[in-house]
Chain A
Amino acid sequence: MAEVRLREVLRGRVWKFGDDISTDLLAPGAYAVAPLEERKRHVLETVRPEFPHQVRPGDVVVAGCNFGCGSSRETAPEGLRALGVACVVAESFARIFFRNAVALGLPVLPCPGVSELFDDGDEAEVVLAEARVRNPRTGAELRGQPLPPVMVEILEAGGILERLRAWNAHRVQTKAGRG
């Protein structure tokens, strides 16, 4: 898993999307049980057919309200992560997507007003730890809503499975110690 850099300045090309980008758009049901290599080729293709083919590692998704609404399918943030998206900055997020992204180690940043900050194709500068988003072309900058400590810890661990790995290793060790 790629290391999540929370304190560095992330620079990436902006892909802009509107409001209510659903999990059906992020991870279409028709490919629900297909392998990741196939699933990632269909991420957001319904609204922007070029996206899964032209997005580059390090790019930033900027979106409107209620990003990731709908299903609990973790394949939604997983597809974005597999395409190399560095982070998603949205006016607001749907709850389950927000949790799932962090659980997987995909940085997300709620930032009201961000849709106005960028044109599609602009470069974005994002410092996650400070919830800071800047457009170097215009010089405009916004502060988003910082993630709560529990989510920062999970992101820094590389996702919730890394925490589980540690928890389980401790259990196995304790059991061995007792035996």
Chain B
Amino acid sequence: MGHTLAEAILSRAAGQQTVRAGQFVTCEVDFCLVHDIFAGTLFDTLEHLGVDRLWDPDRVAVVLDHFSPAPSAAVAGLHRRIRQGVERFGIRHFFDTGQGICHQLLVERRLVRPGMLVVGTDSHSTTYGAVAAAGTGIGTSEMAYAVTTGTLWFQVPPTVRCELFGRLRPPASWKDLILHLLGRYGAEFVQYRALEFAGEAVSQVDLAGRMSVANMAVEAGAKFCFFPPDAVTRRFYGEDGATWPTPDPDAAYERTVSVDLSSLEPLVALPHRVDHVRPAREVQGVPVDQAFIGSCTNGRVEDLEEAARYLRGRRVHPRTRLLVAPASRAVYEEASRRGILADLVAAGAVVLPPGCGPCFGGHLGLLGDGERCVGTHNRNFQGRMGSPHAEIYLASPATVAASAVVGYITDPREVEVAVG
């Protein structure tokens, strides 16, 4: 019997011929990611324990993305301590203020590669499955253990296979695919499990789309989410990928589900649950105070470009403020060079620095009592973006941009787009 991709990667990382779902193993990790909310605590912990060197400083990345730039003297002090820690431990892969969101950077810079086992102090580390790496979130204490010893324990997860067929019909998007899975199977769909995409239509999903889907798979409980290596992966790395692990044809899956892409339509997750999903047309007319386009889920050039199709030559509705945060400096530069940002700004958007923006509720556009936000990000939990008496709706860039134009949540098909 063959391996799922999770079993193949964990077998290699555990130094064993074969590991199976359910087994507990100690693995060598290939790469560690720490961001600014936890890097200070991590360095303090290491110092407290007397750890004077890391297992491999070149396999650790530190990113200042959550509070970027620092919103307070306290956070500026935290960032300063992080820079000192980076210096002390000789960490080369350090991304300071304004470079972008950790997950975008690690893929963009190709620090993460197919087949790697990657742990990050961020739940959205599942994003790395977009390039067939086993990425997963851990806490700060486990990270202290991982960056010092280079190892961590894992239970090999069972895998749910999701077969895609049919053709996506825009303005339905890859964000709508993951919202569909959340709505249909719930927030515990793949709890403690790996989610592996397959099927004749998986080749249609571009890298940006894979990142959106793998990113939000954690909202369904996923430990890992995989798009196995294919032509899209090979093109991105410019390699033939002959040594990359792939799932075996006779691998054992716990369950297989399928999605007809042609049946997808623009969807919205309603407050305060990621799996409270309805067609956008059924939520039509709900007024919005703030629209947000960005985050590690949907802050890429493809997303800004899609948003610009709805906003070009128009104005954001007076009732609504539109915030746009490019996922990285490279995204910012490309969107700027191609005139996408100019179109968004002309429409009235406020462009934020590359980074997490208001998504995690720290700064840069939080919500007050009674306010409502529709955003392209990944969580709509109560209190996520400021006031617990605010509401967050999650949707695709097309749906959010179209909603910003009319000032209420709308199915993007209700708003005409400029051709060309």
Contact = CB atoms under 8 A, between A and B. Distances in A.
B141 A103 contact: yes
B379 A168 contact: no
Given A33-B75, A33-B78, A73 B383 contact: no
A160 interface: yes
Contacts of A160: 141-142, 144-145
A96 B139 contact: yes
Contact of B137 (A65, A72, A167): A72
Given A22-B381, A69-B187, A72-B138, 18 more contacts: A24-B379, A24-B382, A25-B381, A29-B385, A32-B37, A33-B74, A70-B379, A70-B381, A72-B121, A72-B123, A73-B37, A74-B38, A95-B192, A103-B139, A150-B24, A159-B141, A160-B142, A163-B145
B360 A29 contact: yes
Interface string B138-168: 1111101100110001010000000000000
B370 interface: no
Contact of B383 (A24, A104, A159, A168): A24
Nearest to B384: A24
A167 B139 contact: no
B188 A96 contact: no
Most A CB contacts (10 A, CB to CB) among B137, B144, B155, B386 go to: B137
Contacts of B383: 24-25, 28-29, 46
Contact of B148 (A66, A96, A148, A168): A168
B123 A164 contact: no
Contacts of A28: 361, 383
B51 interface: yes
A72 B120 contact: yes
Given A46-B383, A148-B155, A30 B361 contact: yes
A165 B49 contact: yes
Contacts of A149: 24
Range of interface residues on A (Cβ < 8 Å): 35 or more
Contacts of A135: none
Given A32-B66, A73-B37, A96-B138, A66 B191 contact: yes
Interface of B: 24, 37-38, 40, 45, 49-51, 66-67, 74-75, 78, 120-123, 125, 137-142, 144-145, 148-149, 153, 155, 187-188, 191-192, 219, 221, 223, 273, 360-362, 366, 379, 381-386, 388
B381 A95 contact: no
A100 B139 contact: yes
Given A32-B66, A69-B187, A164 B148 contact: yes
A95 B49 contact: no
6 A-B pairs with the lowest CB-CB distances in the bound complex, closest first: A29-B361, A74-B139, A100-B139, A72-B137, A22-B381, A46-B388
A169 B50 CA distance: 8
B65 to A, nearest CB: 13
Contacts, number: 131
Interface in A77-119: 77, 92, 94-96, 99-100, 103-104
25 contacts: A24-B361, A24-B383, A25-B382, A28-B383, A30-B366, A32-B362, A65-B188, A66-B188, A66-B191, A69-B221, A70-B379, A72-B122, A72-B125, A95-B191, A95-B221, A95-B223, A96-B139, A99-B138, A100-B142, A148-B155, A160-B141, A160-B145, A161-B141, A161-B145, A167-B148
Interface string A144-171: 0000111000000001110111011100
Contact of B24 (A66, A95, A148): A148
Most A CB contacts (10 A, CB to CB) among B78, B142, B145, B362 go to: B142
A129 interface: no
Contacts of A92: 188, 191
Most A CB contacts (10 A, CB to CB) among B141, B219, B382, B384 go to: B141
A100 B141 contact: yes
A124 to B, nearest CB: 24
Contact of A66 (B120, B145, B221, B385): B221
A148 B221 CA distance: 19
A40 to B, nearest CB: 15
A70 B123 contact: yes
A140 interface: no
Nearest to A46: B388
